[in-house]
Copies of this chain bind each other. A is one copy, B any other.
Amino acid sequence: MNYKVVFKQLGVLVFLVGACMSTSLIWAFLDRKEEDFGQIASAFLLSIFICIGIGLILNFRRTQTKKMYRKEAIAVVSIGWFLCGILGALPYIFSGVLAPLYDGWFSICSAAVFESISGFTTTGASIFPEPESLPRAILFWRSLTHWLGGMGIIVLFVAILGEAGSGAKHMVISEVPGLPDEAPRPRIRSAAMLLWNIYVAISVAEVIALNLQGMSIFESLCHTFGTMATGGFSTLNGSIGQYNNLGYEITIIVFMLLAGTSFNLYAILLGGGWRRVLSNREFQIYLLIVLCAVILLTTDIILDGPEEYTAGKALQDSSFQAVSIMTTTGYGTADFDRWPDFSRWLLVLLMFVGGCAGSTGGGLKVIRVVLFFKILSLEIASVFRPRAVKTLKIGDRPVDKSVRQNVTAYLGLVLVIFFLSTLILFILHNDYCMQKEDRINIETAFSSVAATLNNIGPGLAMVGPTENYAFFSAPAKLFFSLLMILGRLEVMVILCMFMPSFWKKE
């Protein structure tokens, strides 16, 4: 491990966070007539100065060598995410918006870190019971963290600076799982640029679409950040449902689906390969799963759901929630915690499927689920035909053996983390919480773990779509922060940090 290079790169990353933070000053300035203007503006200025200061310290030593290998790239990505999470929490702390909600600095800091990491990892689980009461500068920063984390802040950093050397490729791959591995080194910067350009272009389209229908520029921006990053933070207490506007809902459904699609497909589309896009197996199955989920949810709600539902309303809410949960966005138009248990459990399953590889969505990713079922059918056939040659294919392309091992191990790993984290959560929350009524049951525990590990946001019961994560104990909030980063970076990259051999100097 070459620590100097790692520090240097982290320093540049911290500058970038500071630069992004300064955009919130615009909203603070527009609201300069509010009485809290002074405190908000100074909170952001102080946060930006701290970022610059830390950036300078990390860049202090001159390093000649620019050589970054796989290990250094992994270290930058994983440490970088924790660092962004902590620095992104500063505006919440300094602005004083948490002071009325929490007692003591440990509670305030853990809540702020939770909110910041929930933003960057595009989870969208919030500790603010009433976002509407927050100043616009804070709301903007909250949604901006989604947008930066969605396509990957380190991908942005490679795109802008393009100086990370041979490690850049590993960094980009670690941050946007599912990107083709074959891109040669000199092209990684242009690949990163292309990804961000597509991301910006679709985002602009959504802002315009929402604004033309009457949503304010500020809210259009915030909701676009939340949609395109599959994040889920809203500016309203009641999320998208509060608008009660079918046009907004359809627009957001479309853009959530776009955000959950592999960004490679857009690059192919730009090259005119629309046939290849339509015949992409993962894309087809992704749409098929959404369709089946909508049909099952609608039927179940009509047959067994709350009485106020008409068939049309059931279809409308099912479509929105199926897409919102499957793409791991987490926006809400209905309290699905009041739906029948079949629907609630189906949504838990959708949480694990997630979006396509190479999209901004979380979860296991559609392609892994497809591969897993293909591997299983080969394994079952090998019970009675042990000597048959087994080749795994997606469409017409054979799949590499190492991918095969990796897919089953990853799926098992995520489920094991899910089971064990639920157990740990009981220790971290139930033993620390003051009020008896704040104690969580098994349903709350496993669904909150599923919702954070898969970067969804809302879960069931006490973390249902009309609830929030404010009541969790401070240690539980920090544990959720770890789970969110584990989910965002697909576990393996973060688990490297727990292997002693990773840190050895070579």
Contacts from A to B (Cβ < 8 Å): 70-71, 74, 303-304, 340-342, 344-346, 348-349, 352, 372, 375-377, 379-381, 383-386, 404-406, 408-413, 415-416, 419-420, 422-423, 426-427, 430-431, 439-443, 445, 460, 492-493, 495-496, 499, 501-502
Binding site secondary structure of chain A: helix
Beyond A71-B384, A383-B492, A409-B375, is A349–B423 a contact (Cβ under 8 Å)? yes
- Distance (Å) between the CB of A145 and the closest chain B CB? 26
Query: Within the complex, which residue of B342, B386, B415 is in contact with A426, where a contact is CB–CB below 8 Å?
Result: B342
B-side contacts of A423, CB under 8 Å: 342, 345-346, 349
Q: Report whether B430 and A340 are in contact in the complex, using a CB–CB cutoff of 8 Å.
A: yes
Q: Is the CB of A345 within 8 A of B426?
A: yes
Complex Cα gap A304–B429 (Å):
13
- CB <8 Å contact, A501 and B70: no
Contact A492 B426 (CB under 8 A): no
Select the residue from A377, A409, A427, A440 with max chain B CB neighbours within 10 A.
Answer: A409
Partner of A383, one of B377, B419, B440, B493: B493
Cα–Cα distance between A412 and B420 once the two chains are bound (Å): 15
How far is B303's CA from A379's CA once the two chains are assembled, in angstroms? Answer: 46
Give Cα A501–Cα B381 distance, bound, in whole angstroms: 8
Q: Given A405-B408, A443-B442, does the pair A380, B499 have CB atoms closer than 8 Å?
A: yes
* Residue with the highest number of chain B CB atoms closer than 10 Å, among A341, A384, A427: A384
A495: chain B residues within 8 A (beta carbon):
380, 383
**CB pair B440 A341 closer than 8 Å:** yes
Contact of A384 among B70, B348, B384 (CB under 8 A): B70
Q: A379-B492, A405-B404, A443-B442 are in contact. Are A430 and B341 (CB under 8 A)?
A: yes
Q: How near does chain B come to A71, taking the closest CB pair, in angstroms?
A: 5
> Does B412 contact A345, Cβ atoms closer than 8 Å?
no
Task: Looking at the assembled complex, report how far the CB atom of A45 sits from the nearest CB atom of chain B, in whole angstroms.
Answer: 39
Most buried by B among A385, A406, A408: A408
Q: A412-B372, A415-B412, A422-B345 are in contact. Are A379 and B406 (CB under 8 A)?
A: yes
Inter-chain contact A405/B379, CB cutoff 8 Å? yes
Cβ contact within 8 Å between A415 and B413: no
